[in-house]
Amino acid sequence: MNVPTMAEMMAQGKQPDVLFWVGCAGSFDDRAKKITKAFVKILNKANVNFAVLGTEESCSGDPAKRAGNEFLFQMQAMANIEVLNAYEIKKIVTACPHCFNTIKNEYPELGGTYEVVHHTELLKSLLDEGKITIEGGKFSGKKITFHDPCYLGRANDIYEAPRELIQKLDVELVEMKRCKTNGLCCGAGGAQMFKDAEKGDKEINIERTEDAIEIQPDIIATGCPFCNTMMTDGVKATNKESEIEVLDIAELIANADDL
Amino acid sequence: MDYIDNIAFAILLIIGIGFFVKNVKKLTRNIQLGKNIDRADNPKARWKNMAMIALGQSKMIKRPVAGVLHIIVYVGFIIVNIEVIEIIIDGLFGTHRVLSFLGGFYNFLIASFEILAFLVLASVIIFWTRRMILRIPRFWNKEMEGFPKNDALYILYFEMVLMSLFLLMNATDVHFQGLNSGNIISQFLAPIFEGFSNENLHIVERTAWWIHITGILVFLNYLYYSKHLHILLAFPNTYYANLNAKGKLTNLEAVTNEVKLMMDPNVDPFAAAPEDESTPEKFGASDVTDLNWVQLMNAYTCTECGRCTSSCPANQTGKELSPRAIMMKTRDRLEEVGENINKNGEFVDDGKQLLNDYITPEEIWACTSCNACVEECPVNIDPLAIIVDMRRYLVMEQSAAPQELNMMMTNIENNGAPWQYNQMDRLNWKDE
């Protein structure tokens, strides 16, 4: 797998067209690493001139900010901005809607202004430019529903790019009763990923998984590593793992193409 | 003695409007207790928001039944109130239906008012049924117990009575019924009074007329104490609403200055702390006066419809958090602070604050920041902004984050990730 780092690029006097911001989940979480690799495979196949920061990447600061720790957030943000600006980064793609939202919306005021796209948006433009083709392959005829990540959907009004990609897979895209602007959160946002939920009568990811189970999909597609974890746990907790698979859109496209 | 009615009317009007002005002053004073925030940018987008969302009710129809009924009541309320202009002129100058010189057009106007009054009456009865018979869950959450529930019912009863009085006043107006034009609804009420002498009819008509206008003035003054304030505040509230992407949280400027100082290698580590006013007295919010004025206006604008709470993932899964309750508690505390100032001339510490005494940390920590409440609000109220400001206070002033979040933050500080992994292992996935 060809994964050039910015340091290597710099040493060779090269500049990538786009920086792939992997994110903490994409770097360390076993499930999310598969998404990272699937996305890189597509980038390689499409001959995208990209690079990663590798060991120079650090948490975007999103969970600290949403937990209320503005100090820690801004320390992370400014340290990251120094690195990004030193490498003269112009465009960033990430498979994590939380990193996406933070870098896109909250970094500019702190001195970091970049064109930031979510990986589904980049994949969509690669498709439009004819650099990748999407065929159903092994997913042909399957029933797929898309769970809108809050930080992609409501937070940044991106609803169509992921859906257009799914539809190219020659599958049946079915919507949950709560979708798009009405989509229900998976329960991980706002730093909830890192703590137990407050006292209640149900876990949010179960409530959301039940939305999906209602329409009996073969696959729940997501575009966020945290949603992926929550939905995967939800499917397990409701004993549906033999019937429903949870996959990122990048995985759908890469797997369909047997990458 | 002919003028006694007119004088009584003038006094009634002055008292009614006088009290209203007094309440508006109290209201603006309380809102101005909030911190400054610049929301004067991009007036074009702001006017558009106001036109679409407040005037055009574009977010109301997301829930079609309530949305359509609300539009009927809203249009009816505005149009039927044109009639109030005539009532005021008649009342002050002792005329009767002063605008009737408009002839056919006048009859057309009154006919439209009558149709709208009837539709409003019907809609309000459906609203009441939805609340009390169908018992739609969002009207029965625990924050709705007591006054909030009654407040909603008082408003519905008020509207029922006002609309009925308007139709009754037309039905018993002998001259008006005699014209038999414009009485499109009231003609069906007129037969009820068939046996009445003209004199008695006149008494009924006058009584209805007086109760109607008095009711309007009472209602006007009820607004300040009620959730019904939204009929006025929806307009400024949508105008001054956040225009940024919903995912964008504000960056605290005071923190930015400090972090920049920390990262500057040229700064003198032994220099005395700069004594400028840029350092805030506290980070985040623990009381209403720490919030900005838009957040306080949000609290007064909330009409407690509960769309936010019914879409909140935390609330739906039985957590303590309800975005509507966040707004209601903020308003209750703001009212308390306002009363305190009225009594003492300035705010005297009452040993209470918004945090803990009204909103508990348990509520604050249950939020997933998913923005469902912000998206749902038909008048662009932002409960999430208040929640985030209170989290900032809990974490930055009190170090009172839940233990697991402290661990997450320690990890970010130590190794640049919310989990305990080595920074140097970030690229290991490549070869796995």
**Sequence ranges of the domains in chain A:** 6-125, 134-256
* Contact criterion met (CB < 8 Å) for B259 and A74: yes
Picking from B23, B8, B416, the residue whose alpha carbon sits closest to that of residue B225 is: B23
B47 within a domain of the structure (yes/no): no
**ipTM for this prediction:** 0.96
Higher pLDDT, B3 or B110: B110
Same domain, B286 and B205: no
| Distance in angstroms (rounded) separating the CA atoms of residues B383 and B363 | 12
Residues 6+ apart with CB under 8 A from B20: B220, B221, B223
Nearest-angstrom CA–CA distance, B69 and B156? 13
Q: Which helix (H) or strand (E) holds A93?
A: strand A91-94
Domain match, B163 and B210 both: yes
Q: Take residue A250 and report the two structure tokens written for it.
A: 């990048």
Of the candidates A217, A92, A198, A94, which has an alpha carbon nearest to the alpha carbon of residue A147?
Answer: A217
The stretch A48-52 carries a mean pLDDT of 98
Nearest-Cα residue of chain A relative to residue B393: A68
CATH number at B305 reads 1.10.1060
What φ, ψ does residue B58 adopt, rounded to 5°? Answer: -60, -30
pLDDT above 70: residue B275? no
Crossing angle of helices A204-214/A225-237, nearest 10°? Answer: 80
Whether residue B152 is found in the same domain as residue B299: no
The per-residue pLDDT for B269 is 72
Which residues in A lie closer than 8 A to residue B369 (C-beta atoms)? 66, 150, 189-191
Domain extent for B318: 253-419
What is the share, in percent, of chain B residues with pLDDT greater than 90? Answer: 85
In a shared domain, residues B154 and B231 = yes
Is A6-125 assigned to CATH 1.10.1740.10? no
- Indicate whether B228 and B303 sit together in one domain: no
- What is the domain count for chain B? 2
Q: For residue A68, what is the nearest residue in chain B, using CA coordinates? A: B392
Last residue of a domain, one of B204, B239, B274: B239
Query: In this predicted structure, what is the pLDDT of residue A259?
Result: 76
How high is the pLDDT of residue B273? Answer: 66
- Judged against a pLDDT cut of 70, whether residue B277 lies above it is answered with no
Q: What is the pLDDT of residues A153-207, one digit of tens each?
A: 999 999 999 999 999 999 999 999 999 999 999 999 999 999 999 999 999 999 9
Q: What is the mean pLDDT of residues B282-298?
A: 97
pLDDT band at B349 (very low <50, low <70, confident <90, very high): very high
- Do the domains spanning A6-125 and A134-256 agree at the CATH topology level? yes
Between residues B134 and B94, the one the model is more confident about: B134
A145 residue type, one letter: T
pLDDT value, residue A172: 95
- Interchain proximity A189–B369, CB inside 8 Å: yes
Q: Do A59 and B416 touch (CB under 8 A)?
A: yes
Within a domain: residue B375?
A: yes
CB–CB of B297/B31 below 8 Å? yes
The pLDDT-based confidence of A211 (bands split at 50, 70, 90) is very high
Residues of A in contact with B396 (CB under 8 A): 68-71
pLDDT over threshold 70, residue B430: yes
DSSP string, B294-315: HHHHHHHH-----HHHHH-HHH
- Determine the residue among B38, B360, B399, B405 to mutate to test chain A binding: the one whose Cβ has the most chain A Cβ atoms within 10 Å: B405
Pick the closest to residue B117 from B168, B190, B65, B153 (CA basis): B168
- What's the CATH fold of domain A134-256? Rossmann fold (3.40.50)
Q: How far is CA A109 from the centre of its chain?
A: 24
Rounded Cα distance between B417 and B427, Å, is 13
Q: Are residues B196 and B115 in the same domain?
A: yes
Determine the residue of chain B that is closest to A98 in CA distance.
Answer: B247
- Which among B217, B239, B261 is the end of a domain? B239
What is residue A50's three-state secondary structure?
strand
Same domain as B226, residue B282: no
Per-residue pLDDT tens for B240-264? 999 999 999 999 998 998 898 888 8
- pLDDT per position as a tens digit, A26-42: 999 999 999 999 999 99
The confidence score (pLDDT) of residue B265 equals 83
Give Cα separations from A242 to A237, A253, B336 (angstroms).
12, 21, 57
Percent of chain A scoring above 90 in pLDDT: 95
Residue B186 lies in a domain: yes
Q: Are residues B77 and B214 in the same domain?
A: yes
Cβ distance of A189 and B430 shorter than 8 Å: no
Single residue among B214, B239, B264 that ends a domain in this structure:
B239
Joined tokens for residue B101:
């010189």
CB contact under 8 A, A184 and B372: yes
Mark whether B263 and B352 lie in a shared domain.
Answer: yes
Mean of per-residue pLDDT scores for chain A: 96
Are B398 and B314 in a shared domain?
yes
Strand (E) or helix (H) holding A145: strand A143-146
Contact state of A204 with B396 under an 8 Å Cβ cutoff: no
Q: What is the mean pLDDT of residues B196-207?
A: 93
Residue that is written with structure tokens 């006002």 in the block: B162
Output B296 or B107, whichever has higher pLDDT. B296
- Hey, of B404, B426, B428, B432, which one would you mutate to test binding to chain A, going by the most A CBs within 10 A of its CB? B426
Q: What is residue A18's predicted lDDT score, i.e. its pLDDT?
A: 98
pLDDT of residue B341: 97
CA B3 remoteness from chain centre: 41
The whole-number pLDDT of residue B270 equals 77
Which of A69-73, A227-231, B99-103, B339-343 has the lowest average pLDDT? Answer: B99-103
Chain B residues closer than 8 Å to A1 by CB: 430
- The two tokens of residue B372 are 């469902």
Q: What percent of chain B has pLDDT over 70?
A: 98
Q: Are the Cβ atoms of A68 and B417 closer than 8 angstroms?
A: no
Residues B224 and B266 in one domain: no
Q: Quick one: tokens of B213?
A: 């206008």
Chain A residues inside the 8 Å CB shell of B256: 74, 109-110
| C-alpha to C-alpha distances, B161 to B71, B97, B203, B232, nearest whole angstrom | 19, 21, 18, 21
Report the pLDDT value the prediction gives residue A92, as an integer from 0 to 100: 98
Same domain, B235 and B260: no
Q: Do A63 and B419 touch (CB under 8 A)?
A: no
Region for residue B403 given its phi and psi (left: phi exceeds 0; alpha: psi -120 to 50; beta: otherwise): alpha
B259, B318, B423 member nearest A71 (Cβ): B259
| Closest CA in chain B for residue A189 | B368
Burial zone of B222 (CB within 10 Å; 0-12 exposed, 13-18 middle, 19+ buried): middle
